[in-house]
Structure 1
Amino acid sequence: MGDIADSPGIPEIGALADGDHPGWSSRPAVESDAARRYHETFRDCDVDPTDDPMAVVGEAVDAKVSIVRNALEALGDDEALNALDAALDLASLERDLIEDGARRRTFALLQVQEGLSKLRAVDDVAMIVDRAPRELVESCGFDRAVLFRVHEGRMVMESAYFGDDRAGAEKMVAFAQSVAPPLDHMLLETQMIRRRSPAIVHDARHDPRVNRPIVDFSMTHSYVAAPVMPTGKVIGFLHADRLYSGRRVDEIDRDTVWAFAEGFGYAYERTVLLERMRRQHAEVRRALASADEAARALQDADLDLRKIEPVERSAAAQSLAEVHTRVLGMLTRREVEVLRLMAAGRTNQQIADELVISAGTVKSHVKRVLRKLHATNRAEAASAYVRLAIAPAVDG
């Protein structure tokens, strides 16, 4: 979102250079053109540095207008007086629009912060994906919002929120998933991936960049969209419109969704990392429990009165360690990761989500792992992994 201080007519009055005006402190090295013009215009005037620049300029305009009006009245030029009044009305309208835009941007920023603060409290990946469109609607004032993810070169709608129209949102998701448009070079979202910036569609019915089936099904007239890219790579898109209110979206709406999408991306990344940490913690606990059971089994085993060679390993331990080394040497690093998740009971899709790869790639890895381990199914491969995982303990 643009900085409110950079808006025309709202200069930053932070300060002037030393000596520019009595009592005004040093200004930053960079200031806007409007702020510089303001300071230069009123350099020799008795202006309090704490005054609102808009009010100062307004008073100056009124003073100049009075001079012009008096001159025109003296000349008796009614047509010029009418033109002057019309120009003043337009100038007042322009100032009101500028102030209204500044207020809207400020309020929109506060709304974005409110919505993101609610998302940061979510610690479940599926839940935050469902909640994102809802918070964009309820916190930021849109009528409808949808969330797409980028999957194997296509746009796949993950969730939607249409206010009270839950059935409509569900139908929208189902239809969009059945379409799943490819990200070809003509699509608006493809341009957003390339430019890594938001977009606004003023006339969705006639814009050639939109996906026609989805736009026709949603009946939207105009919408804004922004990419979700927490790590610099676009992983999804947020769309929003104002269909129910009948108002077309504008640039402030576009910037609002852009700010929300950026914050949501970071919140989503944090949630994914937390969930992965929980899974890893659970796996560590299971591994520790297995180790504890193995230790108890050794402790409770019957003793056999015989000489024990403390230095040389048994033939079984030696053989198992050799198998461990040989098998891990056959698998690539990615195949070892896939095997570990297979042993933890993950499905291909869950493995793909955790490793951030496609389900098709996971399927190829699984086939290679089964072949290398001479396993006929996932259960045998998982069993082999468990045996290999405890091999160092037996070896040591």
Structure 2
Amino acid sequence: MADELDRAISDTLAEMRTATSEHAVELGRRLVDLLDRRNALAATRTADIAAIAEGIDRAVHALDDAASSAELMRRACERAAELCSADKVVLSRFDGDRIIPVAAFSADPDTTPALPAGFGLPAGSPEARALETNTVTVGSQIPAELRETLGANGFTIVPVVVDGTAAALVHVGTPLDGSRRHALAVFAEVLGGCFERVGLESRRDRQDVLLRESAQRWSSDTEFDTVTARGSADLTQAGAEHDDAARRLLDPLTEREADVVRLILTGASNSTIAAELVITVDTVKSHVKRILRKLGATNRAELIAKYQSSTR
């Protein structure tokens, strides 16, 4: 629309240069009308951009307050719908080469959207293009698994990057224009950062508890008689010593690699670790390779044995 008005203004000015006096008056009226329309359009666009900026600010505050991954995913769907003026949103994670919906939102208060089944990533699909380019992508052919949830009037998708890897997709049930597509890209970037924060805060606390319990359980298996004689005070000291030993073992690792080790020590599989840390299975495998190399272990069993040995 703006481009059409600019062209019309340019054509009118060119025509006025050679117009007769009588015709120039008519062209002058047309020019005034075109300029008024362009100014009105510019004012509307400015107001729209201001509203989008306010929407991004509200979304950031809502995401930042989320205390768990489940709450973060629910709020992400709600805020994406508000930001994009959409009725339906689906948030999905990756499991290998499959897309697994994990949260959904519907603006209809009488409807609780059911989570669609997981589906593969079709080559050449809008989802594949969004992941290849790491950009917001508009599509018209909605995957069959999402049609009941998103509708059939076109959609927009954006990848969510966590720890440097696309770990999730946001499907918005409407095609977006330029300004709202940009807003969705900013939103996805903030969401990725929030996933990292929640993962580091809530999961580390839970994993530390599991790690401590495992250390105490291994300790009781090998030192049951001694621990029983010492009483509860010595058991607490033994637990602290195990924690110190565990920290020494994890010293060479990055924070994310330490998170992966804590889950390995609880017996978690690659897919479970990926779900817990909101990363892909391939990323988990890469972390595991680096962990084994850094800690001098050839496989998970040897890694666990090293931990047991260091905490005895």
Shorter-chain TM range is 0.5 to 0.7
* Match 2:281 to one of 350, 355, 358: 358
Q: CA, structure 1 residues 86+223, in 2 after alignment: closer, same or farther (shift >3 Å)?
A: farther
Query: Unaligned regions of 5+ residues in structure 1, if any?
Result: 1-6, 9-64, 205-209, 243-247, 303-335, 366-380
Corresponding pairs, count: 255
Q: Which residue of 2 aligns with 1:213?
A: 144
Matched, 1:278 2:205: yes
Question: 2:94–2:280: 8 Å Cα contact kept in structure 1?
Answer: no
Amino acid aligned to 2:121: P
SS of structure 2 residue aligned to 1:234: strand
> How many angstroms apart in 2 are the aligned matches of 1:145 and 1:299?
54
**Residues 117 and 221 (structure 1), Cα distance of their counterparts in 2 relative to 1, 3 Å cut:** same
1:233–1:392: structure 2 CA closer, same or farther, 3 Å change rule?
A: closer
> Which residue does the alignment assign to 1:99?
43
Could you say which structure has the higher strand fraction?
2
Aligned residue number for residue 228 of structure 1: 160
Deviation at 1:97, TM superposition (A): 1.2
Alignment of 1:285-304 (within 5 A): 285-286=212-213, 289=216, 297-298=225-226, 301=229
Aligned to 1:254: 181
3-state SS, counterpart of residue 164 of structure 1: coil
CA apart distance, 1:347 = 6.0
5+ unaligned residues in a row in structure 2: which ranges? 4-12, 231-257, 289-300
1 or 2, which has the higher helix percentage? 2
Give the TM-score, by structure 1 length: 0.53
Distance 1:268 1:388, change over 3 A: closer
CA distance in 1, matches of 2:194, 2:154: 27
Higher relative contact order (CA 8 A, sep 6+): 2
Q: TM-score, normalised by structure 2?
A: 0.65
Say whether 1:109 aligns with 2:109. Answer: no
Larger radius of gyration: 1
Match of 1:164 among 80, 95, 108: 108
1:182 aligns with 121
Aligned partner of 2:129: which letter? Q
CA drift at 1:111: 0.7
SS of residue in 1 equivalent to 2:170: strand
- CA RMSD in angstroms, aligned pairs only: 4.2
Looking at structure 2, the residues matched to 197 and 101 of structure 1 have their Cα atoms a distance apart, in angstroms, of 23
Instruction: Name the residue aligned to 1:191.
Output: 129
User: Any idea what SS the aligned residue of 1:80 has?
Assistant: helix
Q: Percent identity?
A: 18
In 2, Cα distance between the equivalents of 1:168 and 1:287?
A: 40
Distance 1:213 1:106 in 2: 36
Match of 1:136 in 2: 80
